[in-house]
């Protein structure tokens, strides 16, 4: 009668299902009787590869929270669904020549089976899939709301075109000139595309970050992405010596109007409409050649700081708005058409890029802000100081000079205050099949009409091949005329839009559909939204810091403006789980070996039949490195409860940490010990130390139980799952050593264990004679007085220096003390990513970590 999760776990999963144990009530009268807690995972893209240990980490964390919140008197919304549209399914469809819907369904079935095997307490009645027409009907409906508010428009825009995929990509999907997912090269092209005006929300997306309980790093990434710059626009009149373009003007954007007297030349982006027009006869050929070359480069290659500056003189000048001096106008590709006005005034004395350019082309450099340590010809001074050589600004500090100059410009109608954002409108169409069709018809006369809401969903038609047409139109152009040609209710005729929406669309609002997934009349009932929103805890990987999390906030704000949702923000609290790394083993030839084939001898690792030690690395898990861990393999060996506990015991949730097989074994042994506190392994009967006596008949154990109730409750609430588990280990060890253990103590302990080792807790609860399901019990309360007694303060040192302290029950064992110490803020800060060389534990007093 050993602890056998393979027998216990499926049995309790069946029982939960049969009793509908995790069903969240739907009717408002019932809901309003209790406070709510909405805890959400970033739903997965159901890839063919199946679940990995990173999914299981975040999902276990939210499951523990969901189970704990139910036990503390909340209605909990804890749903799961599928971000099911997307490129990989479409590519697999091309390869295997089957419909992407079939591939998606296959992958979803696999994901669902794997997730269910972990015993998560999702309300499966709310499962949804973004590729289901009953779902994307409402995605299309939200698009109509965007249209109605002039937030969706068609525009001829320079796009990131990926020839290998035959589609455009969003800026966010391109890095270093390559598609981030596949590494395929991306080039620039002009195309007519759907755009969403996210820029209209830039200021609110920025401001409302302040009130969110999110990691600072993610807020900072969003701030940088939005990229607000406060400055001024300044107008320059062109002096082209009486040629074309003479007397025309252009506007520059600057964050440093205070340096206007230091402007010694101007630069236009190669795509600037004036660039060719103002070129002098001598320079025209050179400018034309330069412009042609520059437009082939990506923005990134052009703004690369390391690269030497190139440019060409137009031969024309600009008139300085204050002094009337003639400044040469250059064309150079370090100025981008996509930012500001596509033109700058160059101040080489105080801008590094301009300085480098001026040095390369022997343009004048003037100091207008004092304070630099080097002569201004040698280095630009970008710091603070006072205005010099600047007429009426002289003597003013930078901030004052900015204001004075902006006021002067406004007064003389030569410029104005201006706020600029790096954020661009969101390119919202893709030339793909497996996405939401747009609810849009193009009439013969060129008008673009949105379909009425009752014409939704516009379902994806079947087509014969999932690739662009030979003449380069999107795959949907392959649909038959019965899909393509539409007659509107008023009799006008037209052709359907053949682009589809990007994968981000479906994930922009899925958290709202979970509230009311079967509603056929509305996207969701607004009363349910008022009850459930905002989301109390949203857990997922940091890779979504700018894309999904910014897009979803944008849509939410639009829905707020439409009066459809009642909160300004969807995700009140965000938590990023840390990445789980794997150990990889590589030989001298660079070939990776699977960990199961590797042999350990005297602390070194070898491939069979080879006596040269392997290079062991802790790194990102990856197929090619053979260091991935399949959670299903681990479950098959040690069960889901061990995987759940290990995922959380590895370290603080937010930390990056390696998967270690010994750690998994340690947890399995711990659960075996828990099992034996209730079951006598030889007989299968109740353990001999169990007695039917009141809890206070074992005062020491009772005290420890109360301390454990407090610690596990507080730590679970604070998402410090690893230390909650340590405390349960302390309690278990004490019980193991006791001769007499009142049954009621263990019944309470099962409740604490239940959110974590959900199956084992049910099994022991029922064996101890508990009523019903342990997951449906109330969380136990603790006695303050008992908790206060017998606590000791443990000092945490790193390399002998005091860095933190924590309280724990007297007599806690070494292993638990070490775990609790390593988890403290102080230890984490000073130990960092390094592995401790030694940990010295003095029970009841101190833990010293040596690194
Ligand atoms: C004069 C100046 C003087 C500038 C100085 C800086 C320092 P951020 O902060 O990123 O908004 N700039 C403006 N538009 C540009 C474009 N399309 N391509 C490349 N550079 C551009 O940067 C704003 C500054 O970047 C602007 O202020 C401008 O240079 C440059 F001592 O104007 B500045």
Coil, helix or strand at residue 662: helix
At 293-342, the pLDDT tens digits run 887 776 666 666 667 889 999 999 999 999 999 999 999 999 999 899 99
Neighbouring C-beta atoms of residue 797, cutoff 10 Å: 20
Is residue 238 within 8 A of residue 247, CB to CB? The reply is: yes
The 10s digit of each residue's pLDDT in 463-516 is 988 888 877 789 999 999 999 999 998 899 999 999 999 999 999 999 999 999
Q: Is 608 helix (H, G, I), strand (E, B) or coil?
A: coil
What's the burial of 460, exposed, middle or buried (CB within 10 Å: 0-12/13-18/19+)? buried
Cα–ligand 1 centroid distance for 488 (angstroms): 49
What is the spatial distance between Cα 473 and Cα 86, in angstroms, rounded to a whole number?
Answer: 19
As a whole number of angstroms, the distance between CA 57 and CA 47 comes to 17
Look-up: residue for tokens 């276990």?
Answer: 60
pLDDT reported for residue 161: 86
pLDDT band at 603 (very low <50, low <70, confident <90, very high): confident
Least confident of 62-66, 403-407, 815-819: 815-819
> Could you give the maximum distance between any two Cα atoms of the chain, in Å?
106
Evaluate whether 433 touches 99 at the Cβ level (below 8 Å).
no
> What percent of the chain has a predicted confidence (pLDDT) above 90?
80
Instruction: Copy the structure tokens of residue 433.
Output: 């099949």
**CA–CA separation, 344 vs 313, rounded Å?**
14
> For 266-276, what is each residue's pLDDT tens digit?
999 999 999 99
Q: 540 or 828: which carries more pLDDT confidence?
A: 540
> With 90 as the cut, is the pLDDT of residue 129 above it?
yes
In angstroms, the CA 145 to CA 139 distance is: 10
pLDDT for 690 equals: 97
Nearest to 235 by CA among 363, 98, 418, 59: 418
Residue 685 reports pLDDT greater than 70: yes
- How far apart are alpha carbons 491 and 194 in whole angstroms? 25
Are 797 and 42 a contacting pair, CB within 8 Å? no
Structure token pair of residue 698: 């074992």
Alpha carbon nearest to ligand 1 atom 18, residue = 335
What distance in Å separates the CA atoms of residue 687 and residue 653, rounded to the nearest whole number? 35
| Alpha-carbon gap, residue 605 to 587, rounded angstroms | 10
Verify whether ligand 1 is closer than 6 Å to residue 350 (CB atom): yes
From atom 21 of ligand 1, which residue's Cα is the shortest distance away?
335
Q: Which of 351, 367, 421, 424 is the best mutation target for the ligand 1 pocket, counting ligand atoms within 8 Å of the beta carbon and taking the most?
A: 351
Write 682-690 long-range contacts (CB < 8 A, 24+).
682/1, 683/1, 684/1, 686/767, 687/741, 689/735, 689/738, 689/739, 689/740, 689/741, 690/741, 690/743, 690/746, 690/768
Q: Tell how far the Cα of 268 is from the centroid of ligand 1, in angstroms.
A: 12
What is the phi/psi pair of residue 386, to 5°? -120, 150
- The finding on whether 340 has its CB within 6 A of some atom of ligand 1 is yes
Distance of CA 281 from the midpoint of ligand 1 (Å)? 29
With cut-offs at 50, 70 and 90, classify the pLDDT of residue 622. confident
Neighbours of 512 (CB within 10 A): 25
Question: What is the tens place of the pLDDT at every residue in 339-365?
Answer: 999 999 999 999 999 999 999 999 999
String of b and e for 78-107 (b: at least 16 CB within 10 Å)? Answer: bbbbbbbbbbbbbbbbeeeeebbbebbbeb
pLDDT, tens digit (0-9, with 9 covering 90-100), for 153-201:
999 987 788 888 877 777 778 888 888 888 999 887 888 899 999 999 9
The Å distance, Cα 254 to ligand 1 centre, comes to 5
Examine the pLDDT at 790 and tell me if it is beyond 80: no
For the segment 741-786, what is each residue's pLDDT rounded down to a tens digit? 999 999 999 999 999 999 999 999 999 999 999 999 999 999 998 8
pLDDT tens, residue by residue, 439-448: 999 998 889 9
C-alpha span between 239 and 325 (Å, rounded): 11
Please give the distance, rounded to the nearest whole angstrom, from the Cα atom of residue 240 to the centre of ligand 1.
Answer: 24
Cβ(259) to ligand 1 under 6 A? yes
Q: How many C-beta atoms lie closer than 10 Å to residue 514's C-beta?
A: 25
Residue 463, both tokens: 């087509």
CA distance 348 to 794: 59
Q: pLDDT band at residue 392, thresholds of 50, 70 and 90?
A: very high
Least confident of 108-117, 132-141, 183-192: 183-192
**Ligand 1, closest atom to CA 334?**
19
> 418 CB under 6 A from ligand 1?
no
Whole-number Å distance, alpha carbon 301 to ligand 1 midpoint, is 18
Give CA–CA dist 430/47, Å, rounded: 20
Secondary structure (3-state) at 172: helix
Query: Judging by beta carbons within 10 Å of its beta carbon (0-12, 13-18, 19+), is residue 314 exposed, middle or buried?
Result: buried
pLDDT in tens, 637-648: 999 999 999 999
> To which H or E segment does residue 764 belong?
helix 758-767
Cβ of 342 less than 6 Å from ligand 1: yes
Three-state secondary-structure class, residue 159: strand
pLDDT at 303: 66
Q: In ligand 1, which atom is closest to the CA atom of 257? A: 1
pLDDT above 70 (res 537): yes
Alpha-carbon 697 to chain mean position: 51
Distance, in Å, from the CA atom of 164 to the CA atom of 179, rounded to the nearest integer, reads: 10
Rounded Cα distance between 276 and 297, Å, is 18
The pTM of this model reads 0.89
Residue 159's DSSP bridge partners are: 189
Share of the chain above pLDDT 70, in %: 99
Please give the C-alpha separations between residue 364 and each of 254, 258, 327, 361, in angstroms, as whole numbers.
19, 18, 10, 9
Q: How confident is the model at residue 102 (pLDDT cuts 50, 70, 90)?
A: very high
Question: What pLDDT was estimated at residue 824?
Answer: 87
Question: Quick one: pLDDT at residue 305?
Answer: 62
Start-to-end Cα distance in the chain: 43
pLDDT reported for residue 21: 97
Which of ligand 1's atoms lies nearest the C-alpha of 255? 27
pLDDT, tens only, 11-54: 999 999 999 999 999 999 999 999 999 999 999 999 988 999 99
- Tell me, what's the pLDDT at 813? 85
- In the reported structure, the alpha carbon of residue 347 is separated from the centroid of ligand 1 by a whole-number distance in angstroms of 9
Whose CA is closest to 448, among 155, 200, 160? 155
- Ligand 1 mean position to 343 CA, how many Å? 9
Rounded distance, CA 59 to CA 713, Å? 19
User: For a substitution probing ligand 1, which of 255, 302, 385, 417 has the most ligand atoms within 8 Å of its CB?
Assistant: 255
What is the pLDDT at residue 473? 85
In tens, the pLDDT along 799-809 reads 999 999 998 88
> Rounded mean pLDDT of 251-265?
98
């Amino acid at each position: 009668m050993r602890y056998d999760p393979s027998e216990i776990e499926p049995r309790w999963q069946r029982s939960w299902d049969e009793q509908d144990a995790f069903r969240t009530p739907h009717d408002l009268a019932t809901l309003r009787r209790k406070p709510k807690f909405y805890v959400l995972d970033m739903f997965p893209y159901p890839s063919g590869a199946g679940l990995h240990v990173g999914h299981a980490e975040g999902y276990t964390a939210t499951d523990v929270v969901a189970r704990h919140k139910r036990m503390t008197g909340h209605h909990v919304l804890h749903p799961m669904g599928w971000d099911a549209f997307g490129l990989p399914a479409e590519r697999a469809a091309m390869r295997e020549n089957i419909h992407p819907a079939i591939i998606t369904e296959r992958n979803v079935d696999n994901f669902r089976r794997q997730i269910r095997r972990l015993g998560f307490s999702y309300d499966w009645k709310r499962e949804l899939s973004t590729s289901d027409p009953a779902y994307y009907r409402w995605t299309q409906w939200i698009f109509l709301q965007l249209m109605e508010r002039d937030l969706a428009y068609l525009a001829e825009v320079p796009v990131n075109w990926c020839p290998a995929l035959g589609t455009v990509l969003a800026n966010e999907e391109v890095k270093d000139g390559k598609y981030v997912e596949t590494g395929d090269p991306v080039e620039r092209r002009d195309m007519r595309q759907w755009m969403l005006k996210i820029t209209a929300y830039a200021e609110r997306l920025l401001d409302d970050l302040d009130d969110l309980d999110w990691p600072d790093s993610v807020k900072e990434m969003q701030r940088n992405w939005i990229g607000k710059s406060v400055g001024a626009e300044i107008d320059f009149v062109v002096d082209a010596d009486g040629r074309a373009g003479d007397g025309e003007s252009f506007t520059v954007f600057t964050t440093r109007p205070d340096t206007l007297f230091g402007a010694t030349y101007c630069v236009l982006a190669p795509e600037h409409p004036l660039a060719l027009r103002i070129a002098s006869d001598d320079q025209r050929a050179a400018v034309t050649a330069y412009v042609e070359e520059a437009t082939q480069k990506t923005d990134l290659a052009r703004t690369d700081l390391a690269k030497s500056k190139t440019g060409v003189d137009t031969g024309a000048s600009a008139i300085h708005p204050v002094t009337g001096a003639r400044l040469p106008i250059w064309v150079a590709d370090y100025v981008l058409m996509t930012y500001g006005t596509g033109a700058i005034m160059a101040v080489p004395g105080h801008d590094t890029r301009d300085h480098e350019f001026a040095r390369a082309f022997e343009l004048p450099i003037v100091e207008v802000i004092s304070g630099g340590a080097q002569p201004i010809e040698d280095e630009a001074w970008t710091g603070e100081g006072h205005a010099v050589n600047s007429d009426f600004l002289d003597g003013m500090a930078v901030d004052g000079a900015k204001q004075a100059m902006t006021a002067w410009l406004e007064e003389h109608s030569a410029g104005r205050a201006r706020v600029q954002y790096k954020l661009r409108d969101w390119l919202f169409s893709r030339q793909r099949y497996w996405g939401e069709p747009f609810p849009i018809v193009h009439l013969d006369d060129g008008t673009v009409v949105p379909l009425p809401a009752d014409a939704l969903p516009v379902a994806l038609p079947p087509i014969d091949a999932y690739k662009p047409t030979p003449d380069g139109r999107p795959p949907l152009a392959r649909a038959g005329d019965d899909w393509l040609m539409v007659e509107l209710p008023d009799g006008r005729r037209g052709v359907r839009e053949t682009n589809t929406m990007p994968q981000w669309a479906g994930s922009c609002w899925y958290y709202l559909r979970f509230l009311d997934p079967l509603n056929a009349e509305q996207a969701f009932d607004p009363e349910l939204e008022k009850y459930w929103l905002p989301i109390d805890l949203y857990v997922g990987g940091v890779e979504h810091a700018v894309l999904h999390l910014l897009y979803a906030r944008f849509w939410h704000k639009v829905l707020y403006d439409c009066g459809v949702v009642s909160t300004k923000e969807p995700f009140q609290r965000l938590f990023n789980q840390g990445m789980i790394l794997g150990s990889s083993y590589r030989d001298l030839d660079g070939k990776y070996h699977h960990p199961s084939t590797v042999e350990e001898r005297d602390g070194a690792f070898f491939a069979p039949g080879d006596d040269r030690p392997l290079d062991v690395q802790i790194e990102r898990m990856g197929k090619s490195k053979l260091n991935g861990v399949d959670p299903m393999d681990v479950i098959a060996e040690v069960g889901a409860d061990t995987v759940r506990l290990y995922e959380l015991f590895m370290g603080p949730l937010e930390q990056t940490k390696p998967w270690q097989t010994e750690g998994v074994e340690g947890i399995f042994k711990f659960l075996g010990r828990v099992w034996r506190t209730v079951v006598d392994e030889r007989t299968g009967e109740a353990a001999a130390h169990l007695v039917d006596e009141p809890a206070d008949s074992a005062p020491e154990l009772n005290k420890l139980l109360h301390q454990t109730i407090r610690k596990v409750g507080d730590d679970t609430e604070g998402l410090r799952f690893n230390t909650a588990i340590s405390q349960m280990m302390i309690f278990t060890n004490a019980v193991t050593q006791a001769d007499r253990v009142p049954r009621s103590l263990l019944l309470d302990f099962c409740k604490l264990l239940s959110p974590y080792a959900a199956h084992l807790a049910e099994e022991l609860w029922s064996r101890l004679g508990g009523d019903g399901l342990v997951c449906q019990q109330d969380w136990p309360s603790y006695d303050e007085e008992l908790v206060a007694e017998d606590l000791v303060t443990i000092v945490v040192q790193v390399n002998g220096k005091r860095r933190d302290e924590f309280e724990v029950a007297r007599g806690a064992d070494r292993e638990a003390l070490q775990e609790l110490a390593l988890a403290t803020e102080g230890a984490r800060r000073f130990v960092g990513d390094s592995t401790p060389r030694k940990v010295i534990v003095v029970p009841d007093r101190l833990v010293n970590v040596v690194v």
